[in-house]
A and B are shown apart, each in its own frame.
Chain A
Amino acid sequence: MSKISNGGTNRRSVLIGGLAGAAAVAMPAILRAQDKSLKVGVYGGYFKDSFDKHIFPEFTKATGIGVEAVAEPTGEAWLVQLQQAAKAGQAPADVSMMSQVAMLKGQATDLWAPLDMSKLPNTSNLVERFINKYPDGRVAGIGAVSWYITLVSNTKIFPEAPASWAVLWDPANKDKLGLLALVSNSFLLEVTAKTYFGGTKALDTEEGILKALAKLAELKPNVRLWYRDEAQFEQALKSGEIPMGQYYHDVTGLAAADGHPVRSTFPKEGGILDSGCWAVSSASKKTAEAHEFINYMSQPAIQALMSRKVGTSPTVKRELTDLTDAEFGAVSSAIDPIVPRYDLYQSKSDWLNQKWTELIVG
């Protein structure tokens, strides 16, 4: 993990560096011209700090377009804000990084401005599945980064790294887990299906989903916190208050590099692979700048930079980047990942949500 951030920096110095860097870069950009700027939404916290420090300044240097980074909350919450704002003709951010579930929900309401692929030549570097399309073929979003949700643990409380998602069900871990509270961002149904029912195909039928939910109900006594807000769990994980759970591989790596006693493990069933797209709000008037931004971000060199500095996994083909095996291994894994069943969160979203809430609350 030490590849991600040079050892010895603590969180504060990263923050100060980030602020200073952002200020130094943003100032001249604002002075240059009003229309040569872009509001970009990325997840708040470590994630946004790293973008502000390492990625956006490079973009401004290369294109002269200033970036105003907007800290966005969890994908679905940000989606609702963007939808409400777009109805009023406003765009709180021109370009946003959206998780897949939020991306697809936005597509259902035509929220994303269609992208002109002729202005995005670099997207030919991308792995095909990272290009999101409307059913009629218009392009809705371009893969920004991909990330893993893995099994995380506090190294002081658990000297041995856990090996399988099955530890979540282990009665020895009573009251020790922090898990994501929503069916559509925890992907625990998929984890259950892969761990106990031979794969996510088991979720094809409502019967199969109910079976997975019943299995999930067994781990409830182990859960101390169902979190909606990442900060809630991150703090507790670092202190050892809640020593195990599911969390993002990238930010756990950044926290470990800052010296916190945490680790991220790819279980033998695989980490959960999710990805973020760059998507442009239909209310945005900065279409040209947005295309320039997305095109810039799709370069293999920038994708490699993000892997090294932010800890995300690239969306361009790996062989195009100059990432070493060790560097790629730090942000990814050779173990076959658990790929979320995004289709379910579209076609059965309300039914799933209701069953899930009844499972947790009941």
Chain B
Amino acid sequence: MKREPPRRLADYAPLLFPAAMLTGFFVVPFGIMVAVSFFRRHQGGFYTPDFVLANYERFLTPFFANVLGFSLLLSAMAAAACVLLGLPFTYLLTRLPRRPQILWLVALLSILSLSEVIIGFAWSTIFSRTAGITNLLVALGLMREPMALLPGFGALLTAMIYQALPYTILVLYPAFARLDPTLVEAARTLGASPIRAFLNVVVPALRNTIFATLIMAFVFALGCYLLPQMLGRPQHWTLSVLITDQAIYQSNMPFAAAMAVFLVLVSLGLIGLTLLVGAKEEGR
């Protein structure tokens, strides 16, 4: 199919709908948030429209830099783990017969119907001392007595991976399904082992998809604010948790907005950087 470059105004019409959605659901709310982040906070009260930098000043401290750094690191780890797990899984999934494939996809979609609260409570039960998996290990004679596996970094990361993995797989799936099977066959004919063929042929062929998936999983994980409270220790609370505290409990909307704006800008910056690196490699 050959694509004609748009010539008349009407040719741009299909753009209108997405543009309106983007404006209505992203640009306007984000604009309001940016505006509020400059408003004046009244301690013990609410806020009034103004232009002050105090909210950003309060944020620019080593304390919040640490929290921001941890949030980014945690999300990056969750995203990386999701892609590492999702890649071989999706590849093997697309090679299954149609029926089991559909069953797997339905199961994955059903995980998406679970809210963060339910996922958090489920994992806190699984990791608990009184009802958790360690009781199973004790019953099997592998452990002396049951113990709590939470709160901690491992528990938090596990739940975050659980939450983001279905998205990862669903984004990877179409690309893997469309991948020409003869590519792998050719590699195998030339003597490559299955693992070698996967790493040297399949992964490079889908590099852009993998990049996009990584970014999506990262952004998704960054929004997590309940799991860190339920499964982590306070030092594992992400910036999203502190934003919630300010917005919901301290009624400090300006400060919450300033932190949120900062978080969005930093993550947009990181994504831009990633794309830039990707584009450079492409050009080589």
Contact = CB atoms under 8 A, between A and B. Distances in A.
A, B bound: yes
A121 B217 CA distance: 61
Nearest to B253: A80
20 contacts: A74-B249, A76-B251, A77-B248, A77-B249, A79-B251, A80-B249, A83-B46, A108-B42, A225-B151, A236-B128, A239-B130, A239-B131, A241-B131, A346-B44, A347-B44, A349-B43, A349-B250, A354-B58, A358-B63, A361-B242
A109 B48 CA distance: 11
A228 B229 CA distance: 8
B45 interface: yes
A349 B41 CA distance: 12
A357 B249 contact: no
A109 B252 contact: no
A105 B63 contact: no
B44 A349 contact: yes
Contacts of B43: 346-347, 349-350
The bracket for how many chain A residues form the interface is 35 or more
A224 B151 contact: yes
Contacts of B58: 354
A239 to B, nearest CB: 5
B184 to A, nearest CB: 48
Interface in A332-362: 345-347, 349-350, 353-354, 357-358, 360-362
Contacts of A362: 63, 235
A361 B130 contact: no
B45 A241 contact: no
B249 A228 contact: yes
Nearest to A73: B248
A59 interface: no
B130 A241 contact: yes
Given A224-B151, A241-B129, A361-B237, A182 B44 contact: no
A114 interface: no
Interface string A163-196: 0000000000001000001101000000000000
Contact of A105 (B45, B129, B229, B230): B45
B234 interface: yes
Nearest 4 A-B pairs (CB), nearest first? Answer: A108-B45, A346-B44, A360-B234, A76-B249
Contacts of A74: 249
Given A239-B131, A357-B245, A80 B251 contact: yes
A76 B45 contact: no
A181 B237 CA distance: 12
Interface of B: 41-46, 58, 63, 67, 128-131, 148, 151, 229-230, 234-235, 237, 242, 245, 247-252
Contacts of B235: 361-362
Contacts of B128: 236, 239, 241
Interface in A72-88: 74, 76-77, 79-80, 83
Contacts of A105: 44-45, 251
Interface centre among B131, B151, B251 (most CB of A within 10 A): B251
Interface of A: 74, 76-77, 79-80, 83, 104-105, 108-109, 175, 181-182, 184, 224-226, 228, 232, 236, 239-241, 345-347, 349-350, 353-354, 357-358, 360-362
Nearest to B42: A108
Q: Is the interface of A mostly helix, strand, loop or mixed?
A: helix
B251 A361 contact: no
Contacts of A347: 43-44
Given A240-B130, A241-B148, A360-B234, A83 B67 contact: no
A72 to B, nearest CB: 13
Contacts of B229: 181, 226, 228
A361 B250 contact: no
Nearest to B45: A108
Given A76-B251, A239-B128, 11 more contacts: A76-B250, A80-B249, A80-B251, A182-B249, A224-B151, A240-B130, A241-B148, A345-B44, A346-B43, A349-B44, A361-B63
A232 B230 contact: yes
A12 B234 CA distance: 34
A79 B245 CA distance: 13
Given A224-B151, A241-B128, A104 B249 contact: no
B250 A353 contact: yes
A127 B18 CA distance: 61
A350 B252 contact: yes
Contacts of A241: 128-131, 148
B249 A109 contact: no
Contacts of A240: 130
Contacts of A224: 148, 151
A104 B130 CA distance: 41
B260 to A, nearest CB: 15
A232 B242 CA distance: 18
Given A109-B45, A239-B131, A350-B43, A226 B234 contact: yes
Contacts of B67: 361
Nearest to B132: A241
A232 B229 CA distance: 10
A329 to B, nearest CB: 32
A48 B249 CA distance: 21
B248 A104 contact: no
A343 B44 CA distance: 10
